[in-house]
């Protein structure tokens, strides 16, 4: 029955959890993300987490895997909303680090509130929470990366001189992926580089 208590806790404390997460995000150091009252990704994620936990009672003692973490439709919805959230965060000027940390902030908000209100979280529930956060973070970061890489190429195609080439090279250096876009547009003015290029 602890699963039902934890799910009820998330339902009852939904607004508090969203606000806690918003406060944590607003306290992040520079570069400051564009503040907004409309945070779609976190409320959507909480709703889908609740739905996933409600679908889990028969499996609550198992370590949830990608194939059995809630219904397939909920997992798909979570991926769609996380993808949308990654795009929104990119458009608001978030860095990829801020995208990742926002989901971590939500995890901290949930666990801190659970401790403060004496709401028990079983290991299986925490595993489900972590799996959902991992999947949402991956989908959100993938979309953020796609959106920012596409902006690089879009600018290269838009501003390069006619009848010249644009090339894209990606390679691993240590634990990072470097992306080079070579074009013939004359470069950006000093200080004119968008956030992803800095």
83-93: per-residue pLDDT in tens? 999 999 888 88
pTM of the entire predicted model: 0.70
Map out the domains of the chain as residue ranges. Answer: 2-144, 153-197
pLDDT digits (tens, 9 = 90+) for 108-156: 999 999 999 988 888 888 888 899 999 999 999 999 988 887 777 777 8
Confirm if 182 and 167 have CB atoms less than 8 A apart.
yes
* pLDDT grade for 194, boundaries at 50, 70 and 90: low
Compare 196 and 120 and report the one with higher pLDDT.
120
Q: Calculate the alpha carbon distances from 15 to 18, 39, 110, 140 in Å.
A: 5, 12, 11, 22
Q: Which phi and psi angles does 54 have, rounded to 5°?
A: -65, -30
Q: Coil, strand or helix: which one is 175?
A: coil
Q: Give the span between the Cα atoms of 116 and 151, in whole angstroms.
A: 43
CA atoms of 9 and 26, how far apart (whole Å): 24
């Amino acid at each position: 029955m602890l699963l039902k208590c934890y799910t009820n806790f998330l339902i009852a404390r939904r607004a508090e959890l969203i606000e806690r997460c918003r406060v944590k995000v607003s306290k992040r150091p520079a570069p400051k993300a564009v503040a907004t009252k409309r945070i779609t990704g976190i409320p959507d994620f909480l709703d889908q987490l609740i739905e996933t936990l409600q679908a889990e009672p028969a499996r609550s003692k198992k370590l949830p895997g990608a194939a059995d973490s809630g219904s397939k439709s909920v997992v798909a919805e979570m991926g769609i909303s996380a993808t949308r959230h990654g795009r929104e965060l990119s458009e608001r000027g978030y860095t990829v680090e801020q995208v990742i940390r926002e989901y971590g902030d939500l995890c901290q908000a949930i666990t801190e509130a659970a401790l403060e209100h004496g709401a028990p979280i079983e290991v299986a529930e925490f595993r489900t929470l972590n799996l959902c956060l991992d999947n949402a973070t991956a989908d959100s970061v993938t979309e953020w990366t796609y959106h920012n890489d596409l902006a690089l190429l879009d600018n290269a195609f838009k501003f390069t001189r006619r009848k010249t080439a644009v090339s894209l090279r990606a390679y691993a250096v240590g634990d990072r992926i470097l992306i080079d876009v070579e074009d013939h547009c004359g470069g950006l003015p000093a200080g004119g580089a968008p956030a992803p290029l800095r």
